[in-house]
Amino acid sequence: MNDPVFLRELAARYGTPAYLYDLAAVRAAARALKADLPPGVRLMYSVKANPHPLVIAALCAEGLGAEVSSTGEVVAASGAGCPPEHMIHTGPGKSMREIVQSLKTGVRTFSVESPTDRARLAEAAAAADTDCAYVVRLNGPAGSGSGSLRMTGRPTAFGVDTTDSDALTELFRPLGPAHPVGVHTFFATNVATEDALLSEFDQALRTVAGVCERTGFTPQVLDLGGGFPAPFARPGELTRHPRLTDSLTRMLDEHAAVWRQEDLELMFESGRYLAATAGTLLTQVLDVKRTGDRTFTVLDAGVNALGGMSGLGRLVRPNVQPYRIGTGRATGHADRTSRDEECIGETGSTALVGPLCTPLDVLNGAAALRTPRAGDLFAVPNVGAYGLTAGLIGFLSHPAPVEIVLDEGEVLSARRLTLRPIEVAPRN
């Protein structure tokens, strides 16, 4: 994936913008994370990170299950060969239609986030004449307070407030065919350091222990979520967590010794860590212009293709830092005979913007690049997670980027997502 000649050949063959997903990198990330976690844990792939079926299939082949949060993700995971009994359906707003579809598919484990959520699940399971299991998601105090996006430690839509003893006591009792089997926590995403990650897991275990002591509930399943970090849209490598197994074992001995005697199943979720470093976005420079004291480099990939939630002001700007893989001519065609990869950061800075007709289409306000020219090809690394499907794919109706899946240098698949209009029946 780092060979500039190969990347230019793919750009010439399929056009840009184009996402490349390297399945060898997906497998390597899964094996690294499993090696850092205690033996025997159940690792789930968060499909929201990248729902491409070949990415899901590669992770299922490594023994991972799937954490799904919508009907579309259930369909994607099923189509990729993930058995429904290896899925858990999560999310704070599961509709009756979604639950029914999941049950029809064969999903039997859910995360429940309120009494209303649990009642809807029980009603759907009763109508389907089947039993189902659920874990109760908690919203408790934070550990380190770090992470790029926090979901607990403050009032949020996620989970049940750990101070609401009445709701927790109710949820830890069966309701019809819906049976509680465990507890679910997920504090934050992309927790940068191992110390911070361990602090979050320690606080999660303390919180679960306190809740279970107050309610008298003994969990069979403990889903500690994830938060494992990965670089995004800039050079970088996956970090390893050499102290994770020993530290988690010590924490479990301290907070969950009684449950462990009952064959407690420990579960973790990850999307970013498993998929991020497998993805590269190829993009071409459409124009370079100077306005006042600023230089703007216009790419054919904007927030419609990458980091769209940041374009809406919902998340921080992705601060994309690409590297050049080919020098172009002013005609806009890449010069494939030019020198190979050029290093970033040697001279000047430029605002990287996309082709969309909005001032929000900014990928980096001050990227360090050697003088770019129209027609240059750039590669944005580490965008295998929260890339295309976290973008504003439909905004301004530009064609979606091509998605190319590679394995050991061989192209396995190339596709382009399209938006299909709803078919309206003709009037009589």
Q: Which of 6-20, 200-214, 322-336, 345-359 shows the lowest per-residue confidence on average (mean pLDDT)?
A: 322-336
From the list 270, 252, 248, the residue with the least C-alpha distance to 261 is 252
Domains delineated in the chain: 90-270 (3.20.20.10), 277-416 (2.40.37.10)
Which of 358 and 318 is assigned the larger pLDDT?
A: 358
pLDDT score recorded for residue 289: 94
Tell me the mean pLDDT in the region 10-19: 96
What gap in Å lies between CA 174 and CA 178, rounded to an integer? 6
Tell me the mean pLDDT in the region 339-357: 68
Residues 6+ apart with CB under 8 A from 46: 67, 226, 269, 270, 271, 272
pLDDT score recorded for residue 142: 61
Q: Under a CB-based contact definition with an 8 Å cutoff, are residues 38 and 70 in contact?
A: no
What gap in Å lies between CA 203 and CA 152, rounded to an integer? 11
DSSP assignment letter at 408: T
pLDDT score recorded for residue 336: 39
pLDDT score recorded for residue 331: 41
DSSP assignment letter at 313: T
From the list 112, 163, 119, the residue with the least C-alpha distance to 136 is 112
The alpha carbon torsion through 155, 192, 322, 324 (nearest 10 deg) reads -170
Q: Under a CB-based contact definition with an 8 Å cutoff, are residues 299 and 319 in contact?
A: no
pLDDT score recorded for residue 261: 73
pLDDT score recorded for residue 310: 59
Summarised one tens digit per residue, pLDDT across range 212-246 is 999 999 999 999 999 999 999 999 999 999 999 99
Summarised one tens digit per residue, pLDDT across range 367-417 is 999 889 999 999 999 999 999 998 888 888 888 999 999 999 999 999 998
Cα atoms found within 13 Å of the Cα of residue 207, Cβ hemisphere only: 31
For 36-69, the DSSP string reads HSPTT-EEEEEGGG---HHHHHHHHHTT-EEEE-
To the nearest whole number, what is the mean pLDDT of the chain?
88
What gap in Å lies between CA 39 and CA 63, rounded to an integer? 13
Tell me the mean pLDDT in the region 130-141: 93
Which residue is listed with tokens 């124009």?
287
Rounded percentage of the chain residues whose pLDDT exceeds 90: 72
pLDDT band at 428 (very low <50, low <70, confident <90, very high): low
Summarised one tens digit per residue, pLDDT across range 42-84 is 999 999 999 999 999 999 999 999 999 999 999 999 999 999 9
Q: Is 409 exposed, middle or buried, given 0-12, 13-18 or 19+ CB atoms closer than 10 A? A: exposed
What gap in Å lies between CA 382 and CA 244, rounded to an integer? 24
Residue ranges of alpha helices (H) inside 256-292 are 257-260, 272-275
For 64-95, the DSSP string reads -EEEE-SHHHHHHHHHTT--GGGEEE--S---
Please report, for residues 152, 206, 224, 296, 378, the alpha-carbon distance to residue 203 in angstroms, rounded to integers and kept in the order given.
Answer: 11, 5, 10, 45, 42
For 109-129, the DSSP string reads EEEE-SHHHHHHHHHHHHHTT
pLDDT band at 425 (very low <50, low <70, confident <90, very high): low
What gap in Å lies between CA 294 and CA 366, rounded to an integer? 9
Q: Is 205 exposed, middle or buried, given 0-12, 13-18 or 19+ CB atoms closer than 10 A? A: buried
The 3-state secondary structure of 328-396, one letter per residue: ECCCCCEECCCCCCECCCCCCEEEEECCCCCCCCEEEEEEECCCCCCCCEEEEECCCCCCHHHCCCCHH
pLDDT score recorded for residue 271: 96
pTM: 0.90
What gap in Å lies between CA 383 and CA 1, rounded to an integer? 13
Residue type, 46: S
Summarised one tens digit per residue, pLDDT across range 231-284 is 999 999 999 999 999 999 999 999 988 777 778 999 999 999 999 999 999 999
pLDDT score recorded for residue 337: 37
Rounded percentage of the chain residues whose pLDDT exceeds 70: 87
pLDDT score recorded for residue 145: 53
The alpha carbon torsion through 252, 254, 256, 257 (nearest 10 deg) reads 100
